[in-house]
Amino acid sequence: MRIDIFIRKCLLLVLTLLTISLVRAQSPSYKMSISNDIVISPNVYEFDWYVQQTGTTPFELASVQMGLGFDK
């Protein structure tokens, strides 16, 4: 009886892992760009940052943190 319960639990675990590996979230596709950039002073750089949806999945933005890297 204990072996039967153990086998059922193992099968349930395997089934759950297989199901999880098949389920995937839809990833929205988007395009980010910077335009209207201008150097105001040696330490001030201003620009407009645009995000445009390119796919069919709805794009929702809750928050963003970005960095801008450049070479001297």
Between CA 11 and CA 13 the distance in angstroms is 5
pLDDT tens digits for 3-17?
Answer: 788 888 889 888 888
Between CA 6 and CA 17 the distance in angstroms is 17
pTM score > 0.95 for this model?
no
Between CA 63 and CA 1 the distance in angstroms is 53
Q: What is the pLDDT of residue 40?
A: 93
The pair of structure tokens assigned to 33 is 């760009």
- Give SS3 for 22: helix
Which residues does residue 3 pair with via DSSP β-bridges, in sequence order? none
